[in-house]
Amino acid sequence: MKNKIALIITLLLSISCTGNSQSTYKPYWENKFELSAEQKTFLDTLQYKTFLFFIEQINPENGLVKDRSTDTSPATIAATGFALPIWAIGAEKGWITREKASELTYNQLNFFYNSEQSLDVSATGHHGFYYHFIDMKNGKRFWNCELSSIDSGLLFCGMIFARNYYDGESEKEKMIRDLADKLIGRANYDYFTHGANAKFPYGISMGWHEREGIYEISWWGYTEALFLWIIAAGMDMEKAPEGYKQTFLKHYQWREPYDGLGHVVFPALFSHQFSMMFLDMRGLVDDYMKSKGSDYFENSRRATYTQWNYAKENPLGWTGYDSLCWGWTAADGPGDFRKDGKQFWGYAARGNAGPDSVEFDDGTIVPTAAAGSIPFAPEITISTLINMAQKYKSPGVLGKYGFYDSFNPYLKWVDPDYLGLDQGPIVIMIENFYNGFVWKYFMKDPIVQKGLKRLEFEKIDR
């Protein structure tokens, strides 16, 4: 079996390498890509192995998902939200039964509904929101962390998906819909809203902590928070339309790091992926994107191609970077130290938006950066993943749950952990690439449609 997989990978590389010499960039609506049977075999295997993280690195009694694959890891709210569509994907593919997926989903929603919502320092959350990290067993706040608007929002995205996917008449599926309605409905977005005279007018605060109250810093300028503004608007945040224009759109930075790749920049790819895990933004435009002749899906495609070009250029001369080995986003690193006159970092938001906008480039490559961009640019991401799997067998970059979180060819270092926040995009985005599965159930929700309408999005023909 191992020899067969190695042969498939070798054949794929010989086919794929020629496909990356595209001289003229094409937007997604002009791009044609056909997935070969061998490529699908690779993606199916990667998706299944990554899916197992969300079956084995969880507490099935309350549906919480580990932040990382260590014995002492707490749960992270965002990855816990990712699990909801991931369990459904598993059910659709026959990896688990629909009954098992609904049981895990119900257990999670029931836990959150009955968890403590108060200002007590050990509560799970308050005002309908949740702390960034919570204890895997009892769901209490962990590490004295913040009440997080963005991580809670990603959890709500999972709940929005769940109440649309579980549309059956069994008691369990009816309870899932009822619990999701109640949990989504009790989130008070106005609690996180800044005032008219704040530094970020009507912005959505990043969080709350008892030491300083509501954080002054808001979700301003282009970030992963696009989805947050849309669902907040759909959940009746009163000042969402004004805040979206005055705080979010107002601070966008449009740049063209490489010819034909003008886009709203953010160096780390998670900001271009997290919203698009749930939102199908093909052909949906606000006033800003309409003025640029683009949309948010195309924006993510151009951000992906920007990283690909950066790898080929490799301005810092790192080992391993090329058109088939690239990808940067928030992830683990080898640690905070200097060696050979070079600086290395531990966990950091790695990324680049061209050679003059680089964050934490220390030779570390993050596979989920390419994997989470498969729907945007399959012609460069799939071949990259296949190449990394083959080229870096030793030290091995693939393990029990697919790709380890990151690796550094210069140091010959591979991260021993898997991170839930980076595992989730791999499973979800492969499925969205195949058939738009998560998009289909998320986009039909009244909250999403209302949010898009309040923020004045419109659909254009592509």
| pLDDT for 462 | 83
Phi and psi torsions of 442, nearest 5°? -75, -45
| pLDDT for 394 | 75
Reference 421, options 132, 175, 221, 214; nearest CA is 132
| pLDDT for 72 | 97
Q: Report, as ranges of residue numbers, the positions in the chain whose pLDDT lies below 50.
A: 1-22
- List pLDDT tens digits, range 141-185: 999 999 999 999 999 999 999 999 999 999 999 999 999 999 999
pTM higher than 0.85: yes
Task: Note the helical H segments in 96-140.
Answer: 98-114
Is the C-alpha dihedral spanning 297, 303, 304, 309 positive or negative? positive
| pLDDT for 24 | 83
- List pLDDT tens digits, range 310-356: 999 999 999 999 999 999 999 999 999 999 999 999 999 999 999 99
> What does the chain come to in residues?
462
Q: In this structure, which long-range contacts are made by residues 248-251, counting pairs with CB atoms below 8 Å and at least 24 apart in sequence?
A: 248/203, 248/219, 248/220, 248/221, 248/222, 249/286, 249/287, 249/288, 250/220, 250/221, 251/220, 251/221, 251/222
User: Structural domains in the chain?
Assistant: 253-430 (1.50.10.140)
| pLDDT for 21 | 39
Report whether 418 contacts 68 (CB < 8 A).
yes
| pLDDT for 393 | 86
What DSSP assignment string belongs to 393-404? TTTTSEETTEE-
Tokens of 290: 């309409």
Count of C-beta atoms within a 10 Å radius of residue 34: 7
